[in-house]
Structure formats: structure tokens, C-alpha cells
Structure 1
């Protein structure tokens, strides 16, 4: 049977897509006020060809039916606010907490639409900045190693000699050591395999500043993992900021400033240890749904099927 023909038949005759009450504006916005709860998440996701949509979800639904509250095309705060504000203000004031990333537009949406809710910046977005800073240093050293090796090869050719790269006792060249250390720097030290421990020792012996950057990243993670009180979290972050200042890494200095600029919403994490993991999980479900149907040919019909399951 022709799959496309079956899909068209389902869309046009078997489903209720043609009489769907939100069909007319589905590609611009969708709203399900009855799914509003006390604890929400807001994030952006891509449906097709990089086009972003802002998705507001109810955490209580745990990514199942009743999860979707609003889906709005784009990420412009004004457009999203105008749609969410269609929900009566009395209902929106019942929201106690909303988790979000560090984007300014998401914070503005949360602030304007849910004035009584505590805004919580997702800890994992903060930690991601730190791990990316470590990887940035590793990648810079890797390009330096590649450039140095290329120079040595060209020099050997000019002098009719053979180039032999430095090989460490674990079998890696310098270029390979830096390339293969990628996942080592993402993981905590106690999670390393014996081979990764050996590779990390070689890497940190060769590049002490990379060791220092890795330690700063892991220390930030430990603050979130092991702290349950807001005041204690504030004190630990203050000490971390001072270590960053002394280390002098530009990327970590930028992260430190970002944390300080979002300190109020970041510290709110320590009240209930709330994260935006539910939103990230829901985004993964949307991607899996999109993959299952081999992409999105019709945005409206895709959203119709999505909302039949999750709204």
C-alpha cells in the first residue's frame, strides 16, 4: 500500500483534522488553557528546517497527555506573551514556579505571563556553559597540535627525512590525545574508565591549565549536586567566582558574569531543586515523533497529531 496515500486518507477522512478547532491558526499558535498547572517549564524547539517554536508545558503531566499548554511560532517575547495572556489572569496567577533556560526572552515571557511564579534558571544550562568552556580550551590546543604536526611534516619533506610524531605510553600521539580526551572532560573523575584515567593523567601533565579549567567546571557541578540551602549555595558560588577570577580564563570569566547576572533565578534552584529537564525530555519526544514520520511535511497536521497525544 502507498504510505503517502494512506497518510492523506487518514488526514482528509479518518482523522478529525479538517474540523479541528485550532486548525486555522495551528502553524502560528496553539493554546490549551485547561492544561495549566502550578509547576511549568518553557523552552524552544525546532519542528522543521530550523524553524523554532516556543513550547510551554505542565510538569505534572510528566510528558504525557495534558502536557502541552501552548505552542507558539518563533521565540519573540511579545508574540509569545500575547498568546499566553489569552489565558485568564486569575488562572495564570495560580502558577507557583516556572523553569527556563538563561535566554532573556524566556525570562521576560515568564515574568510577564506568570507574575506570581518563582522563576528558576535550569542548572544544566549553567553547567553546560562551563563544560563548553573546557572543550574550547581543548579544541584550541588540538588545532595548535595539528598545526605543529603539519609544520614538522613539511620540514621533514624539505630535508628528505621521515617525520615521527611523539607517541605517549598509551599509544596516542599528541593530536590523538587531545581528540580522544573529549568525553573524558565531560565526565566526573570517578566515572572514568582505566583508559580514560591514563589519558587524563597524560593530558593534564601536558596542559596544567586544562586541568585547572576542568576542576572549575566540576566544582560548579558539585555546588549544584551537594547544596540544599540557598544561602550556602550563594556562599559557595561566591568562592567559585573568586577562583575563576584568579584563574584568568576569559571563557570562565564570561560564565561567571552570566551567573552573577542571573543569580536570583539560579539561586531559586536550591529551594526545590527544580530543573528544566521535563522540557528537554519533551523536546526529545517531539524529535522522536518527527523522526518516526520522516520529517514534517505539513506543520498543521504534525501539530494536530502531536496535540492528540500530548494535549
Structure 2
């Protein structure tokens, strides 16, 4: 818009940041570069995923499905993916509030599972069945899926496919988390969709020059 009217876009952005917004009075400003946290957005069903908000720098995002990708979605955005760091931040949320969470969808990363186990011990963990496509038919319940998965695993072991050894071991280690999909048919699609929104928002500004201000802006829209 600045270009259309022959104005200096950077100057307008700076004026908005320093004068029109309440960025300097933001109560999360002192630690926003490391994490932002919104306990009020905790809900029964959460998603956790990681995404690159800047080139090469990963952030862990905990989001609420209840927010539907709009205001109330962000529960936490935390710099990095190290389990201990994420746990330290999420444990700032009172235990009583964390214990209301019933379900968290996630990927197969061991660090994510550790985070959820420590911070949301009463929640079931659900690994998106996208990772195991042959278990997706809608007619299956958890017990039928358990049998199908066991048969698949047994056939891989019997045939001795070396190329599948790592995959089969990973699935074996995540057996129950994968089968938990069949309780509520929950997937991590909400997290993937929200990550795409954040990347589009980032792209619309041609990258992120000021990460703290970027987090301030997305918190105003999505938290």
C-alpha cells in the first residue's frame, strides 16, 4: 500500500511499531524473543509442532484446536526444539490448567513425546495416522487397527526387509500413540494448517527482520 501511494514503507512500519501499536508496553516483551505464552488459550485438545519462522531457526508451537486457526489458537511459541527448554516454559502454566488437556496430537519425534508426557501427563498422545497410511480406513476401530498393525509388523519381521527395519522399529516404539488416532480420529492437520498461515504471514512481509515484533503481531491476531 505504501508503494501505491509513493510512501516509504519502512518508515510507515517503524511509525506503526513505535507510535501506533502498544509494542513497547507489551507485557511479554522482555522474553518474547525466547518464548510467548498464553495459558488462557489452553483447551481439551492441543497440537504441538515445530516450524521455521526465520531461515534456519526452529520454533516449537503449541496450539489449541478450539481456536480454529484464529484468535485463541496460540498457547505457546518457544524458540528451539530442545525438550528441556520447552518443558521449562510450559511448566510456567499452572499444573491445574495443564491437567485439563485431554489429547495432544504430535509427530513421531521423541522430544515432542517427552514434552507432552512431562507437561500434560493426563492427556493421551496421538500420532497423526498420516505416518501409517494403511491404517486410515474409516471402518477401523482401535482394536481392528491394532491387529492390522501387528500383522504388518510381523510380515516385515518375517520377510527380513532391511530397508524397513528402522521404520518398523519406529512404529513399534510408537504403537499406542499411533492407535490413539482411532479414539477421536484426531490428526495434526490443525497444526500444519496454522504453520502454513504463519509462513504466509511471514512471506507477506518478505521475511522477518525483527522477530520480537513479528511475534507481537501474530500474538495480536492469533492469541
* TM-score, length of structure 1 as denominator length: 0.68
SS of the aligned residue for 1:23 comes to coil
Looking at CA atoms only, which structure, 1 or 2, has the larger radius of gyration? 1
Q: Give yes or no for contact 1:227–1:270 (8 Å, CA) kept in 2.
A: no
Q: What are structure 1's unaligned runs of at least 5 residues?
A: 128-220
Q: When the two structures are aligned, how many residues end up with a matched partner?
A: 217
Q: Deviations over 1:60-114 (max 9, x none)?
A: 1111100000111101111111111111101111110011110011000100000
Correspondence 1:116 to 2:113? no
Let me know the Cα RMSD of the aligned residues.
Answer: 1.2
**1:98 equivalent in structure 2:** 104
User: Which of 26, 37, 41 is matched with 2:43 structurally?
Assistant: 37
Shift of 1:264: 1.3
- 1:223, 1:277 → 2: CA distance? 17
Q: Where does residue 169 of structure 2 map in the other structure?
A: 257
TM-score by length of structure 2 reads 0.94
Shift of 1:247: 4.6
- Whether the 8 Å CA contact 1:81–1:113 is kept in 2: the answer is yes
* Per-residue deviation, 1:18: 1.0
Structure 1 outlier segments of 4+, above 2 Å: 225-228, 242-253
SS at match of 1:24: coil
Query: In the alignment, does 2:65 pair up with 1:59?
Result: yes
Q: CA deviation at 1:242?
A: 2.7
Residue of structure 1 in register with 2:4 after alignment: none
Aligned to 1:16: 22
CA contact (8 A) 2:52 2:59 kept: yes
Q: Which position in structure 1 is the counterpart of 2:206?
A: 294
Kindly indicate which of the two structures has a greater share of residues assigned to strand.
2
Tell me the CA shift for residue 246 of structure 1.
Answer: 4.5
**Match 1:85 to one of 77, 84, 91:** 91
Q: Which runs of 5+ in 2 are unaligned?
A: 1-6
Partners in 2 of 1:25 and 1:249 — Cα distance? 49
Measured in 2, the distance between the counterparts of 1:18 and 1:41 equals 30
Q: Which has the higher helix share?
A: 1
1:278 counterpart residue number: 190
Do residues 5 (structure 1) and 11 (structure 2) align? yes
Contact 1:27/1:73 (8 A) holds in 2: yes
Deviation at 1:222, TM superposition (A): 3.4
Output the CA distance in 1 between the equivalents of 2:8 and 2:140: 57
- How far apart in 2 are the matches of 1:120 and 1:259? 13
Q: What is the distance in 2 between the residues matched to 1:249 and 1:11?
A: 58
